[in-house]
A and B are shown apart, each in its own frame.
Chain A
Amino acid sequence: MNMELSRRGFLKLAGTGVAATSLGAMGFGEAEAAEIAHVRPFKLTTTTETRNTCPYCSVACGIIMYSKGDLRKGETADIVHIEGDADHPTNRGTLCPKGAALKDFVKSPTRLQYPMHRKPGSDKFERISWEDAFDRIARLMKDDRDANFVATNAAGVPVNRWTTVGLLAASATTNETAWATFKFAKALGMVGFDNQARV
């Protein structure tokens, strides 16, 4: 049974198919028109497909993300569906209960939208602009580094250790983000620099 006939069968069962019941008499064309008039368009037909991989475990299953709008055309893109990539050699289209719900991760109610700031002793977060946040953090880092940087050890050997500020890197960022983070942390002399691999 091909797709069209099965859909017609469905229409008939659903009791909406006047056209379908007289299929032979009226011909396919009109039946098709009647069907289109009744059925909502398939929701993925107008979407953009993008290849990605599941960000959870290290199986790294291939996924296809469907969005309304195309980032590559400079449009705003809203992801409406995510499914397994059938061409991916590892998962061949399958996803586990985590990967199958990825769209709802992207759309989590607790996804963060704005930079927030908590003052010492405060019981709430308040909005802060990106620029103010960057300026303030950079100043805090600079002042601490200048005050606490260990340039040499007792023997006069340059050791360049900044032990009073640390950084934990993320295990789901890309290699490219990781490399930028690495350069930043190691250039500053941050020795307390680690990632989830240890944990």
Chain B
Amino acid sequence: MTNSWTDIKNTDLVVVMGGNAAEAHPCGFKWVTEAKANRGARLIVVDPRYTRTASVSDLYAPIRQGTDIAFLNGVMRYCIDNDKVQWEYVKAFTNASYLVKDGFGYKDGLFTGYDAEKRDYDRSTWDYVIGDDGFVVTDPTLQNPRCVWNLLKEHLAPYTPDMVERICGTPKDKFLKVAGMISECSSPTKTMTSMYALGWTQHSKGSQNIRGMAMLQLILGNIGVRGGGMNALRGHSNIQGLTDLGLMSHLLTGYLTMPTEKEVDFATYMSTRQFKPLRPGQTSYWQNYKKFMVSFQKAMWGDAARADNDWAFNYLSKLDVPSYDVLRVFELMYDGKVNGYICQGFNPLLAFPNRAKNTKALSNLKWLVTLDPLDTETSRFWENHGDFNPVDTASIQTEVFQLPTTCFAEDDGSLTNSGRWLQWHWAGGTPPGEAKHDTYTIAQLFLRLRDLYRKEGGAFPDPIVNLSWEYADPNNPTPEELAKEINGRALSDLTDPADPTKVLVAAGKQVTNFSQLRDDGSTMCGCWIYSGNFNEQGNNMARRDNHDPDDTGAYLGWTFAWPLNRRTLYNRASADLQGKPWDPSRKLLEWDGSKWTGYDVPDIAPTAKPDEVGPFIMNQEGTARLFARGLMRDGPFPAHMEPFESPVANVFNPKMRGNPVARVFETDVAQLGTSDEFPYAGTSYRLTEHFHFWTKHNRVNSALQPEFFVEISEELAKEKNIDNGGWVRVWSKRGEVKAKAMVTKRIRPLTCDGKTVHIVGVPLHWGFTGSAKKGFGPNSLAAFVGDANIETPESKAFLVNIEPSTAPKDRGASA
């Protein structure tokens, strides 16, 4: 989230599209209710299903899953055509006026530079015109046909209300109502918030869905303001934290990135991370990259990371592919190329698409270790559960270790919520049986491996034997010790560059925050964006002051938010070019003539003059990008793409299947179905009574929602002779599920490109362990293909067929 849960109360219009906050994030959704009750805010829901969020909305519009880009492009076009643009914001704070290179264009659903063989674009033309002074050439009058604004208008032109109806199945009058309400928020004194979740990410073009809304929010001037923003409602309690801390194949901490093979040494690695400002006088904060990177290497390898060995740069792996994301790893596993796997609090057997493939992949492992508080399906993938896990146990040669861990109630530490608040919590219960903290288990494995490498040597022991592990009890690092490492400290006295006699931070002391980090090895810091979490003031994540001066919803004294305790990102954009708030009743920051003051920590140097330095300091431009240059693999503008499995062809290019640059493995191509064989559009979702595959272990929630079902319209039920509550079989090219049918008015058939499209809804909470009845999940059906930029599987749009059936055998719960 750019903003926070409590900030939602400041909004005038909530758009829930790609999510279902009332059911999946209920207590966060109460801030929508607050905004409606106290500000007269309105709520729009755009979703294939009339969800509980929709049931309290002011306007609901149906949409076919996987067509959000067409809808959003249509709204942007509407706003521009009707002059509903926050012009001052767009001109000053976005790259609308920047000129784009001549070669760039778009035709037949594809941008310039497409290579069908490589399934990739040559993105060299997707860039700005750079002048002799080294800066981007601009046309502040927006007259030049090659400026971003005019290229955008041209790109959006085909997305008329009729086209939106044709692609999305949204009736034109509904679409126009939505667009009309949204467009009102171009007023500087009206804001709209976007609340989205996996309904937008789980697509082969998920990143572009989000980009579409981000661009719309920029056109309306809604980023950086109270009650505005792009608010990703993260699915798990600490998915934000694990991403921030870089527990991903292509990342290091704080969005530093893993090196590739081409970056043969530290100088080469740094050469592509200079982030020179593209416009005069801009901040381009990533110019500090080296300080964060060197401090990170020092946190990892201490004295073994020195200037004379490139800060131990070669201890890091260098990637030969963009990432070893989970889909790639399971593909390799399926191919017999992975021998061992460790699953920490994760249930991939049910979480990744194409369950049959996952079972086969796990069966190829020599060994599997699970660390979990619960008896997961993954840890028992080898156990036969009749229809629910029809495996041949004896033939599975995988050695499995099922290690019990503590749960939240039994450990101390911080979780990062969707609004980037790092909230410390405390243990209140004794772990059951012999369950251990993950930190203990990880330490035990690490110390044993380090001993083995010290004794026996082996493959490149250096990064292991030299890993910094300075904990009072190396067997059991404490959460406080780990949090302090994340914050960082001075390794030698840090003196004031202006006055070398003045010590700013003494050796051994915690740095106050990342602004004190250096690139000469005199500081260490595990994760720069978190720095400030645990400094010499103490554990700032444990702060619990719930005062909120003037009821802005900021709560600056409550825990710690990254970065620097800032609650709203890009908050400088809440004020105009003179530094006056766009909406005085919703002031966030104000320029007092010499510095920024207000309710939040400024997202800009506190003395940066409002008419000189742009608000988007993490971009080289200082502005936000309506045109993304070559930074996204599938286009600088969002363009309509169908899901890989779609009931209708792409109207712009009927030959194009899915996202033209998304990676598809050979084995999976053969497993993609077509609408002749699988006529119905399947989708997946959560229910409010369950959390993933955890709460089915809990008797209360199992009683609330005991049994797996699929949801279909009355029309489809009639067509297929399916009774409400009767058994059905749903199958895709990859697998099948048996479920009770819930025949509902909440899902209605849509008409897309002249064709009737029926939707089949598949909730995701069942498996074969726990207290609920045994059941299946959407991953038995969904396709093994991911988003082109980030490889999130396309679990929200796949094709299925359905027929009346009989009950599966042995449905009884295991506990």
Contacts and interface: CB of A to CB of B under 8 A. Distances in A.
A6 B790 CA distance: 60
A73 B207 CA distance: 49
B665 interface: no
A163 B332 contact: yes
A163 B338 CA distance: 7
Interface string B406-433: 0111011111111001110111111011
B774 to A, nearest CB: 13
Contacts of B130: none
A102 to B, nearest CB: 8
Contacts of B771: 108-110
A22 interface: no
Nearest to A120: B397
B341 interface: yes
Contact of A172 (B237, B300, B339, B341): B237
A89 B555 contact: yes
Contacts of B437: 177
B404 A115 contact: yes
A35 B792 CA distance: 61
Contact of B414 (A133, A171, A174, A185): A174
A34 interface: no
B419 to A, nearest CB: 8
B695 A174 contact: no
Contacts of A140: 340, 366-367, 399
A192 B28 contact: no
Interface string A54-65: 111111111001
Contacts of A198: 248, 325-326, 786, 790-792
B639 interface: no
A118 B791 contact: no
A128 interface: yes
Scoring B418, B460, B467 by chain A CB atoms within 10 A of each residue's CB, the highest score goes to B460
A134 B236 CA distance: 29
Contact of A55 (B338, B408, B452): B408
B442 A180 contact: yes
Contacts of A78: 429-430
A173 interface: yes
A106 B407 contact: yes
B460 A149 contact: yes
A45 interface: no
B743 to A, nearest CB: 24
B623 to A, nearest CB: 27
Nearest to B557: A89
Contacts of B315: 160, 187
Interface residues of A, number: 120
A130 interface: yes
Interface string A125-163: 100101001111111111011101101010001111111
B237 A54 contact: yes
A114 B404 contact: yes
Interface stretch (B480-488, B611-619, B630-638): B480-488
Contact of B345 (A48, A141, A173, A179): A173
Given A134-B444, A166-B338, A195 B248 contact: yes
Interface in A170-191: 170-191
Contacts of B691: 56-57, 98
Contact of B317 (A89, A111, A186): A186
Nearest to B259: A159
B246 interface: yes
A41 interface: no
Contacts of A194: 247-249, 324-326, 329
A161 B428 contact: no
A21 interface: no
B666 interface: no
Contacts of B274: none
B300 A195 contact: no
Given A140-B367, A186-B300, A109 B697 contact: yes
Nearest to A125: B402
B27 A178 contact: no
B642 to A, nearest CB: 22
A123 B391 CA distance: 11
B688 A59 contact: no
Nearest to A159: B318
A188 B752 CA distance: 51
A97 interface: yes
A134 B445 contact: yes
A186 B442 CA distance: 13
Interface in B333-366: 333, 337-346, 348, 351-352, 366
A163 B325 CA distance: 11
A181 B341 contact: no
Contact of B320 (A55, A79, A159): A159
A112 B396 contact: no
Contact of A112 (B28, B252, B373): B373
Given A110-B770, A191-B324, A197-B243, A65 B438 contact: no
B27 A94 contact: yes
A94 B244 CA distance: 28
A52 B445 contact: no
A109 B27 contact: no
A198 B397 CA distance: 29
A31 to B, nearest CB: 36
A51 B400 CA distance: 36
A108 B374 contact: yes
A26 interface: no
A165 interface: yes
Nearest to A112: B404
Contact of A175 (B320, B326, B456, B483): B483
A113 B448 contact: no
Contacts of B417: 53, 58-60, 90
10 contacts: A57-B25, A59-B418, A104-B701, A109-B815, A123-B394, A136-B401, A140-B399, A175-B416, A176-B413, A181-B438
Complex A-B, nearest 3 residue pairs according to Cβ-Cβ distance, in ascending order:
A170-B345, A113-B433, A174-B413
Given A50-B427, A104-B698, A134-B444, 11 more contacts: A53-B408, A61-B27, A90-B417, A120-B396, A133-B403, A137-B367, A138-B452, A146-B458, A165-B342, A170-B371, A173-B344
